[in-house]
Every structure is written in structure tokens, then in C-alpha cells.
Amino acid sequence: MCPPPTQNGTNGTNGHAKPRAAAAAPYQTVQDFLSNTNNFKIIESTLREGEQFANAYFDTATKIKIATALSDFGVEYIELTSPAASPQSMEDLKAICGLGLKAKILTHVRCNMEDARLAIECGVDGVDVVIGTSSFLREHSHGKDMAYIQKSAIEVINYIKSKGIEVRFSSEDSFRSDLVDLLSLYKAVDAIGVNRVGVADTVGCATPRQVFDLVRTLRGVVSCDIETHFHNDTGCAIANAHAALEAGATHIDTSVLGIGERNGITPLGGLLARMIVGSHDYVTSRYKLAKLKEIEDMVAEAVEINVPFNNPITGFCAFTHKAGIHAKAILNEPSTYEIINPADFGMSRYIHFASRLTGWNAIKSRVEQLGLTMTDDQVKTLTSKIKQMADIRPLAIDDTDSIIRSFHLDLQA
């Protein structure tokens, strides 16, 4: 019974009356000198991790459209599928590298010389190298021991660096890897000048506290940047990304709507919803937030899904206020029940008035929107009529508007 989500629409009231700074203090996250919640970069992986989503099939034109939109939105990096995956993947990577986008173009390859050579041939700005380090992956996937992993990592990183290209080295399934193995591997690649090391919760098992502990420990071991990658199997992907930044991570992997392997990773929109609350100026200065809905709709259409009702920011009811007491406060001062100003994302709030939970302030606001005039006492009588009707059956907006209009006609008669 809510209207569809609107962008730059006219529902509800205007933006938050007071500047956010006045209300910002309670939202500040715990900060120390290693925290990067006010200074992070996004590695947007819709065209790599997102391609592993069950429904995803991106043709060249769609990849170009998505990459262009993401670059325009302001993400710092766009990661694409390995050119070793298929001949078309290689052609698409070359095509996107040739667009001259503002975002840096990365590809994600296995830790071997052949894959690294292919990536560089395509003209990428950076290569993301990955290898499994957990005992599960060492036994059941590639079968290599840690000494072999370290030797090949060093060879591949040195080669990529010799070509003047940015390189990241990531373990896979980091949270189920042996901590000592992991740290000595990261230390070795940091020593030869890798640009970033990556921590990946490939199976989605980590909790925010585990993430904080691992990233904070790693921060004390390496001097390079730290990238993090979180799967959402237990719904912790956004919280884990936030914990990683608090601990000193510098880069967060995202995908639009969180699409990826299984149920995906940290969603771009959800991460920015989380970050804007404590780092408003940083987020609004770097990203064209009003483009978020358009990008999400573009990707949702490409992979044939609907945007979930409870999606942060763009879910159809993300800024809908229903309970009477909420509506009253929201009409007076939106910050009362909103920590995010919808206007920052080019969205608008909606005061739900067509229900038995409504209050007379919400009805009064609707009466005014309809261009009608009533006294407060008259609005209160009208409100009780609407509540009586809403107790009998669900009310649509049109139903409620006709109750309001006929009440107004009776008043005039």
C-alpha cells in the first residue's frame, strides 16, 4: 500500500531541518589513529564477484554500461573477471581498459605467471592476485604447501611490479587459515613492495570482532594497504567491512546489491549507508550518491532480480514512516527517526497515513498536500473515521484520500 520508492519526489517533508553536524556526535564510531572510517577506498567487484552470482550473465555492452556508471559514481577501482576465464572475458577486459575511465581497472587472477601475463596484456591498472591458504583449500583445491605459495607469490608480484603495475596479494579463506602462516606470508610480500595485501572471508564465517582482531594484528605486521572482502552468508558482510575499517583496513570490496558467489558480499549501497552515518562529509564528497538507485536498478535488471524490500537506502520502504507517533516527530524534525537523510541519496521520505496506526499529524499533513483546509479538531475527527475504516479492511491511499475529501465536502455542506 506504499507508493513506489521515489527519487527527488515530493512525498513527505523536506530534508533534515538542521545540518547533520548538530546531531552527528552520537553517531561517531569509536575512533583511534589507525581507524580508516573517514578514509577508505572502494574496490567495486560487480563485474568479477558479481559475475559469480547465480543469475549473472553480462554481455560486453552491459559490462561497459555498468563499469561506466560505477566510475561516474566515484568508486576508486573496478575489478573484472580474470582474462584466463574465457576468451570473451579477455576481450571484455581489454574493451573496458580501453574506455579511459576515471576508476582504475583491476582483474582478479590466480597466483601464477601465465595469468599475470594475460592480465598485463589486457592493459589493466592493477592485478589482484589470489591463492587459497586455508588447510581446506590446500588439501582439497590446489594441493600446494605454504613454502610453494610464498615462492610463487614472490615471483608473480616481482613480475607484475617490474611492469610498473599495481599489485595486490590476497589469501583466500583467510579466517580459516593458520594465523602464523598467514602473517609470515603477508610480511614476505610486504617486504618486496606489494601495494596491498588482501584478507578475504571467502566462506562468510567471520564475526566483526574476529575481523577487527585479524586486521588490527595485520596492521602491525605490514606497512602496505589492506584490502578486505566479506561474504554475507550470516548477514555480517557490512558489519565486518565496518569493523575492518575501524581496525585499519584501507580498501573494501563491494558489489552492487551485494551480488556474488552464493548470497554474495558487502553491498555497495549498504556499505555507504553504514559509512555515511559516521563519515558524512567523506562519503558525500567522494561519491555521487544520487546515482545509487539508477545503478542498482541497472544491475537488478541485468541479473533479473528485484531490489529487496529491506534494501538499505533504496528498498521501497527504506524511508517510509508509518506509526502515528513516528509520523508526528518526523514531520517536526526528520532526524528524530532517521539517521540517514534520504535527500543525500536523492531519495525522499514518505509518511504513511493510510492505516489504523496513523495519527492526526500525518492526516493533517495529507490534508494539506491535497490542498484542503481544516481545523485541528476537524482533522482529529477525520482521523478517528479513518482508523475505524482501517480496522475493518486494509486501506489504499486512494481510499483514504476519498474519505478525506468526502469529510471535507460534508464540512462545507
Residues that bind Zn ion (CB under 5 A): 49
Question: Active-site residue 326, yes or no?
Answer: yes
Question: Nearer Cβ to Zn ion, position 170 or 341?
Answer: 170
Dist CA 264 CA 46 (whole Å): 10
- CA 17 distance to own-chain centroid: 26
Nearer to Zn ion by Cβ, of 231 and 328: the residue is 231
Q: Which ranges constitute the DSSP H helices of 53-173?
A: 60-73, 87-97, 113-121, 135-140, 146-162
Residues of 248-266 as b/e, b for ≥16 C-beta within 10 angstroms? bbbbbbbbbbbbbbebbbb
DSSP state of 52: G
| Candidate list 140, 326, 352, 408, residue with the active-site label | 326
In the complex, least distance from residue 249 CB atom to Zn ion, rounded to whole angstroms:
16
Which uninterrupted H or E stretch holds 78? strand 77-80
Closer to Zn ion at the Cβ: 261 or 401? 261
Q: Which residue is nearest to Zn ion (CB)?
A: 49
Residues in the chain, total: 413
DSSP per-residue letters across 208-234: HHHHHHHHHHHHTT--SEEEEEEB-TT
CB of 227 to Zn ion, least distance (A): 12
Q: From CA 231, how far away is CA 200, in angstroms rounded?
A: 8
Long-range contacts of 181-189 (CB under 8 A, 24+ apart): 181/133, 181/146, 182/133, 183/217, 183/218, 183/221, 184/150, 185/133, 185/146, 185/149, 185/150, 185/153, 186/218, 186/221, 186/222, 187/221, 187/222, 188/150, 188/153, 188/154, 189/153, 189/154, 189/157
Select 49 or 92, whichever has its Cβ closest to Zn ion: 49
Work out how close the CB of 261 gets to Zn ion at its nearest, in angstroms, rounded to a whole number.
5
Cα(183)–Cα(191) distance, integer angstroms? 12
Smaller CB separation from Zn ion, 142 or 161? 142
Using alpha carbons, select from 138, 172, 176, 169 the residue that is nearest to residue 152.
Answer: 169
**Least distance from Zn ion to the Cβ atom of residue 132, Å:** 12
> 33-64: b or e for each residue (b if 16 or more CB lie within 10 Å)?
eebbbeebbbbbbbbbbbbbbeebebeeebbb
State the minimum distance, in angstroms, from the CB of residue 201 to Zn ion. Answer: 8
CB of 277 to Zn ion, least distance (A): 26
Shortest separation between residue 56's beta carbon and Zn ion, angstroms: 13
90's grid cell? 579477455
- Among the listed residues 320, 258, 343, the one whose alpha carbon sits nearest the alpha carbon of residue 4: 320
Minimum distance, C-beta of residue 265 to Zn ion, in the bound complex (Å)? 6
Active site residues: 326
